[in-house]
């Protein structure tokens, strides 16, 4: 279990605990301004990681058929339709869109944020969640007991337990040593930033499949520099609402390992505006509980002492 502390720009247990095996911190920069909503990242993620199918029911939410991240959706491409101008210049700057159709689609491929200070690591009782030598956060399914403590701890709703239906007549399908279709799973699953591919010197499947380089993979420090330059360019071109999300190491989770360039407020994309690591206040809460317990014990002792006279 990682040490509880105020969020900083440096993840706990990395890189010191890895010694010479520690690698440069790797991550994602997702530039939503060039996302075309093709969902190639979703497909590539499922194919490489053998993620079961999900979102086969029409949701009625624009052209989105997966709706949210979950145990069976490690990449989720959101579609947001807006009657807003793409750029704030000329007729498009008018409140009513001028004489042109100001409709725009905001598309963004969401994923686990691989937080610098991750609450899921703090609350995991079995150590199945761990920080890799690349600074990413991974679940080891072979020791996950499905307790679910990490699920509410995540401020982004990324972690989820896999509950697959029972099938009596279908032949079992084996995934990572676990036979799907024979019994319910119950363990927690999420994006691993393709840990197995990283160890082999390859980029994650989603970034490899993205045709527009909306999903960019690399050393986190380099990605942050690239993101700053991209934001500066969009702002100079008067793009409407361009901003970085999760880029700041001084935010409530110490910065994301997978951050975004958005074209509107985070809430528009279903993201929390000011995420805070859920375990940040635990030391103060335990200290308060200890003081209260001590006062209770003292009161009980005093009551028995007074009654014995």
Condensed to tens digits (0 to 9), the pLDDT of residues 155-214 reads 999 999 998 665 555 566 666 666 655 567 889 999 999 999 999 999 999 999 999 999
Q: For residue 185, what pLDDT is reported?
A: 82
Summarize pLDDT for 227-274 with one digit per residue, the tens: 999 999 999 999 999 999 999 998 989 999 999 999 999 999 999 999
pLDDT at 119 over 80: yes
Q: Which residues of 68-99 are buried (b: 16+ CB within 10 A; e: fewer)?
A: bbbbbbbbbbbbbebebbbeeeeebeeeeeee
Contact 206, 44 (CB under 8 A): yes
DSSP string, 138-206: EE-TTT-----THHHH-TT---EE--PPP-SSSPPEEETTEEETTS----EE----SHHHHHTT---HH
Q: For residue 95, what pLDDT is reported?
A: 45
Looking at domain 16-278, its CATH class is alpha beta
Q: For residue 93, what pLDDT is reported?
A: 47
Across the range 219-226, mean pLDDT stands at 97
pLDDT band at 6 (very low <50, low <70, confident <90, very high): low
Q: For residue 306, what pLDDT is reported?
A: 65
> Alpha-carbon dihedral of residues 204, 210, 213, 217, nearest 10 degrees?
-10
Q: For residue 263, what pLDDT is reported?
A: 96
Q: Which SS3 state, helix, strand or coil, does residue 91 take?
A: helix
d(CA 77, CA 94): 29
Contact 27, 223 (CB under 8 A): yes
Q: For residue 299, what pLDDT is reported?
A: 72
Q: For residue 20, what pLDDT is reported?
A: 92
pLDDT band at 99 (very low <50, low <70, confident <90, very high): very low
pTM of the full predicted structure? 0.81
């Amino acid at each position: 279990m990682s040490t509880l502390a105020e969020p900083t720009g440096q993840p706990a247990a990395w890189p010191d605990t890895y010694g010479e095996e520690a690698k440069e911190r790797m991550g994602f920069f997702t530039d939503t301004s060039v996302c075309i909503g093709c969902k190639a990242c979703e497909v590539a993620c499922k194919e490489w990681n053998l993620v079961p199918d999900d979102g086969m029911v029409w949701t009625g939410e624009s052209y989105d058929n997966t709706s949210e991240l979950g145990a069976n959706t490690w990449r989720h491409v959101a579609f947001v339709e807006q009657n807003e101008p793409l750029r704030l210049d000329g007729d498009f700057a008018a409140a009513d869109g001028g004489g042109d159709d100001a409709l725009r689609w905001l598309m963004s491929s969401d994923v686990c944020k691989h937080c610098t200070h991750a609450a899921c690591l703090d609350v995991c009782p079995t150590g199945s969640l761990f920080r890799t030598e690349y600074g990413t956060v991974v679940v080891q399914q072979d020791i996950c007991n499905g307790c679910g403590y990490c699920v509410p701890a995540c401020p982004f709703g990324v972690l989820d337990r896999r509950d697959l239906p029972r099938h009596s007549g279908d032949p079992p399908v084996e995934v990572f040593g676990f036979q799907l279709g024979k019994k319910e799973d119950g363990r927690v699953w999420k994006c691993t930033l393709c840990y197995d591919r990283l160890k082999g010197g390859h980029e994650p499947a989603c970034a490899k499949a993205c045709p527009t380089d909306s999903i960019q993979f690399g050393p986190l420090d380099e990605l942050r520099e690239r993101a700053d330059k991209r934001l500066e360019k969009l702002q100079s071109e008067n793009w409407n609402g361009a901003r970085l999300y999760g880029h700041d190491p001084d935010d409530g989770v110490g910065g994301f390992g997978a951050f975004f360039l958005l074209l509107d407020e985070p809430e528009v994309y279903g993201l929390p505006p000011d995420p805070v690591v859920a375990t940040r206040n635990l030391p103060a809460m335990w200290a308060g509980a200890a003081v209260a317990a001590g006062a209770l014990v003292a009161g009980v002792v005093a009551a028995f002492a007074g009654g014995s006279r």
